C-alpha cells in the first residue's frame, strides 16, 4: 500500500489533498468499456474532470442512467456525452446472428433495437449513440428536467480509433 501511495503522490496530476475535497466534473460520459477508448486519454483530462460510466456498447442501462442522474443532480455536471467508437465489438455482436450468453443478449438488446435494415457498422454505431442519448432523457425525469431548464446539454459523439478523432453527432 505504501508503494501505491508513493506512485499516486508522484504521478497524480492534481494534488491528492485537492481531490479529497470532492469532484466537480465538467462532463459526464457514457462510453464503451473497450480498453482502447479511455475518455480521460481521448479528452486529455485530469483526475476529477470527467464523470465516467462505461459498458460494452455504451448502452443506457438503468444503473448508467442513475449514475448520470447523480452526476447532474448532485455534482452539477452541465454536459452529458454519449460516445460510441469505431469497430465496437458490442455493436458487431448485436449485428451478428451468433448466439450469445443470456447476459450478453440483455446487453445488446437496446443496440439491436436501434439497428435499421441495411446499415453498415459505422451507421449502426452512430445510431446506437443517438438511441442511448434519447433513452437517457426518456427514462429519467431528472435528466429531462435539467435539459428543459437549460442546466444540461446532452450530446452524442463518435470516436474513430484509427485517427484519434472525435466527431459530434
pLDDT given at position 157 = 98
CA distance 50 to 62: 20
Q: Look-up: residue for cell 435494415? A: 117
Give the least confident one: 32-36, 46-50, 56-60, 162-166: 46-50
Kindly tell me if the per-residue pLDDT of 128 is higher than 60.
yes
Would you say residue 3 lies in a domain?
no
Tally the domains of the chain. 1
Portion of the chain with pLDDT greater than 70, in percent: 89
pLDDT given at position 10 = 63
How confident is the model over 23-34, as a mean pLDDT? 94
Would you say residue 112 lies in a domain?
yes
Mean model confidence pLDDT for the chain: 92
Would you say residue 88 lies in a domain?
yes
CA separation (Å) from 101 to 33, 130, 166?
Answer: 18, 26, 32
Boundaries of domain holding 52: 25-168
pLDDT given at position 146 = 98
How confident is the model over 13-32, as a mean pLDDT? 82
Q: What is the CATH number of the domain that holds 100?
A: 3.40.1050.10
Would you say residue 2 lies in a domain?
no
Would you say residue 85 lies in a domain?
yes
Kindly tell me if the per-residue pLDDT of 1 is higher than 60.
no
Of residues 25 and 11, more confidently modeled: 25
pLDDT tens digit sequence for 148-163: 999 999 999 999 999 9
CA distance 98 to 94: 9
Kindly tell me if the per-residue pLDDT of 62 is higher than 80.
yes
Kindly tell me if the per-residue pLDDT of 77 is higher than 90.
yes
Would you say residue 133 lies in a domain?
yes
Hey, which residues does 150 pair with through a beta bridge? none
Kindly tell me if the per-residue pLDDT of 118 is higher than 60.
yes
Would you say residue 69 lies in a domain?
yes
Would you say residue 8 lies in a domain?
no
Give the least confident one: 70-84, 98-112, 122-136: 98-112
Amino acid at each position: 500500500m505504501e508503494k501505491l501511495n508513493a506512485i499516486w503522490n508522484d504521478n497524480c496530476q492534481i494534488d491528492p489533498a485537492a481531490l479529497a475535497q470532492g469532484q466537480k466534473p465538467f462532463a459526464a460520459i457514457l462510453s464503451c468499456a473497450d480498453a482502447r477508448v479511455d475518455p480521460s486519454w481521448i479528452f486529455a483530462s485530469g483526475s476529477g474532470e470527467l464523470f465516467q460510466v462505461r459498458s460494452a456498447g455504451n448502452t443506457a442501462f438503468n444503473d448508467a442512467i442513475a449514475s448520470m442522474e447523480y452526476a447532474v443532480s448532485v455534482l452539477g455536471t452541465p454536459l452529458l456525452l454519449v460516445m460510441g467508437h469505431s469497430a465496437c465489438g458490442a455493436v458487431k455482436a448485436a449485428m451478428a446472428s451468433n448466439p450469445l450468453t443470456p447476459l450478453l443478449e440483455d446487453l445488446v438488446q437496446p443496440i439491436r433495437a436501434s439497428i435499421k435494415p441495411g446499415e453498415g457498422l459505422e451507421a449502426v454505431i452512430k445510431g446506437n449513440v443517438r438511441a442511448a442519448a434519447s433513452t437517457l432523457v426518456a427514462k429519467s425525469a431528472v435528466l429531462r428536467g435539467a435539459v428543459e431548464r437549460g442546466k444540461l446539454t446532452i450530446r452524442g459523439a463518435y470516436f474513430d480509433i484509427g485517427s484519434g478523432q472525435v466527431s459530434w453527432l
